[in-house]
Amino acid sequence: MDTSDRSPARHRWRDHVGYRRHRLADGAAARSGSQPGIAAAATALKLPSRLESVDHLRGLAILLVALANYLASVRLVPAWLKHAPDIGLTVVDLIAPLFIFAIGLTYGFSLRRRISRDGWGKAVKHFVRRFLVLAGLGTLIGAGEILLGLNPGGYNWGVLQAIGVAGLLTLPVIRLPVLPRVGAGLALLVGYQVLLDRYWLQAVLQSPHSGLPGALSWAAMLILATVLADLFFDPSQPHAAYVLVTTLAVVAGIGLSVWVPISKNRVSASYVLVSLGISSALFSLVHLFANHLHLRLPLLSAWGKNPLLLYLLHLLLLGFVALPAIPQWYSDAPLWLIVLQIAALIGGLSWVAWRLQARGTIFSL
**3-state DSSP assignment of residue 149:** coil
As beta bridge partners, residue 263 has: 88
Closest CA relative to residue 135, chosen from 202, 66, 218 = 218
Closest CA relative to residue 158, chosen from 174, 172, 146 = 146
Q: Number of helices and strands (H, E) in the chain?
A: 15, 0
Q: How far apart are CA 264 and CA 271, in angstroms?
A: 6
CB atoms within 10 A of CB 33: 9
Domain layout of the chain by residue ranges: 8-49+83-296
pTM of the model: 0.85
pLDDT digits (tens, 9 = 90+) for 245-281: 999 999 999 999 999 999 999 999 999 999 999 999 9
What is the sign, positive or negative, of the torsion defined by CA atoms of 143, 146, 151, 152?
Answer: positive
pLDDT band at 342 (very low <50, low <70, confident <90, very high): very high
According to the model, what pLDDT value does residue 152 have? Answer: 57
According to the model, what pLDDT value does residue 142 have? Answer: 79
As beta bridge partners, residue 88 has: 263
pLDDT digits (tens, 9 = 90+) for 176-215: 999 999 999 999 999 999 999 999 999 898 887 888 999 9
For residue 86, what is the DSSP state?
A: S
Say if residues 299 and 356 touch (Cβ distance below 8 Å): no
Closest CA relative to residue 203, chosen from 193, 194, 214 = 214
Count of positions (residues) in the chain: 365
Q: How far is CA 97 from CA 104, 198, 264, 317, in A?
A: 10, 25, 10, 24
Q: How far apart are CA 330 and CA 18, in angstroms?
A: 49
Question: Is the pLDDT at 10 greater than 90, yes or no?
Answer: no
Q: Work out the end-to-end distance of the chain between its first and last CA atoms, rounded to an integer number of angstroms.
A: 39
DSSP string for residues in 256-299:
HTTTS--BTTTT-HHHHHHHHHHHHHHHHHHHIIIIIS----HH
Say if residues 230 and 177 touch (Cβ distance below 8 Å): no
The identity of residue 22, as a single letter, is H
pLDDT digits (tens, 9 = 90+) for 112-171: 999 999 999 999 999 999 999 999 998 888 777 767 666 655 567 888 999 999 999 999
Say if residues 282 and 228 touch (Cβ distance below 8 Å): no
The identity of residue 306, as a single letter, is N
Percent of the chain whose predicted confidence (pLDDT) is above 70: 84
Question: Is the pLDDT at 228 greater than 80, yes or no?
Answer: yes
Question: Is the pLDDT at 92 greater than 90, yes or no?
Answer: yes
Closest CA relative to residue 112, chosen from 182, 34, 60, 54 = 34
